[in-house]
Amino acid sequence: MELLQGRIRDYAWGSRTAIAELQGRPAPSAGPEAELWLGAHPGAPATVERDGSPASLTDLLVAEPAHWLGERLVGRFGTRLPFLLKVLAADAPLSLQAHPDAEQARAGYAADADRVNYVDPYHKPELLVALSEFEALCGFRDPAESATAIAAFGVPALEPVVAALRTGPAGLREAVRLLLSWPAAERAGLVADVLAAEVAGPDAELARALSADYPADPGVVVALLLHHVRLAPGEAIWMPAGNLHAYLRGTGVEIMAASDNVLRGGLTPKRVDVDELVRVLRFEVLDDPVVRPEPVAPGVVTWPVPVEDFALHRVEVTPDGPAVRLALPGPRVVLCRAGELVVDDGVGRVTLTAGQAAIGAAAGGPLVLGGNGEGFVATAGVR
């Protein structure tokens, strides 16, 4: 195992306290700290020390793929780490967005010479585990519920949207297209009409909250088509390809396929390509977006996901309990969330405190974790 130095991304929606407090730094921070990246994504690769200087993990994987990744991962994914582990800390809503599946990503990247929508040929399924209470929009709910919620505002201009939704799941496509194609000059008026309605309940509260940041964005109404969930710590949301979602507030550990392909659908000043988003979206009801942890061994839980790119485990150890042994395939990235973790892969041994991370190459043996703390272990999902 070797210490891994992650990179902090300063997106405007980020918290000024969550990541700083996790790492034991003074809070509030000087600016927003939205995500701590712990991986080899070329946008912000983590580093390990080599001869007293930081070395990019991305470069090390290319230089020594068999050591770091192992033959099986190289054969499946090439000389890249297929997953990216993050700490995500949101103080304001992220944009409504969706990600392509693997086939769509390959075809989109090949056709998108200007890299407008597709910046790499990879899919981007993702799993987020709440560290705090976490609020999100994720996946389409029953369109009949959405129709009732939107109709309650009594806005005549929205009647075609309500009518489309009342046809069932088949009408979701038309409802989304109508809202995202709303004439730019009329968007502020639409949101104002929704807010002017004397309607109570969660849907009205959500619309008011989102309009505070996006007063002229039809995404305020698109949000009412989605599940609005509040996760307790330890609960997760799984977002496969094609599901519209937005993280609204809270701190979590996120693991995803290592891609930057994002198609936005509102709640953003950035470009929204309505045609491409509609092509990628899955217009189907997501019955239950919440994933609960499943125990796999004493002190170890996981959140099963149907992809080969990644798997995530949470480990809790105590001084008077046995060490935890995990025979997980390498490479392994370990993040200490609280307390102190001692991690040994038979090649190297490191001690991590809260906010620190380490990486073990595929050449190492099973992980042995001891100490007194809690951590997350990210690996590829290939067995």
Residues marked as catalytic: 264
Cα–Cα distance measured from residue 315 to residue 326, given in angstroms and rounded to the nearest whole number? 10
Other Cβ atoms within 10 Å of 24 Cβ, number:
11
- Nearest alpha carbon to residue 330 among 50, 38, 40, 71: 71
For the range 198-205, what are the long-range contacts, defined as Cβ-Cβ under 8 Å and sequence gap of 24 or more? 199/152, 199/153, 199/154, 201/152, 202/228, 203/149, 203/152, 204/152, 204/153
Cα–Cα distance measured from residue 374 to residue 369, given in angstroms and rounded to the nearest whole number? 10
Other Cβ atoms within 10 Å of 75 Cβ, number:
10
Task: State both tokens at 161.
Answer: 């949207």
- Nearest alpha carbon to residue 139 among 197, 98, 192: 98
Q: Is 230 exposed, middle or buried, given 0-12, 13-18 or 19+ CB atoms closer than 10 A?
A: middle
Task: State both tokens at 185.
Answer: 């000059």
Cα–Cα distance measured from residue 99 to residue 105, given in angstroms and rounded to the nearest whole number? 9
Cα–Cα distance measured from residue 300 to residue 229, given in angstroms and rounded to the nearest whole number? 25
Task: State both tokens at 153.
Answer: 């505002």
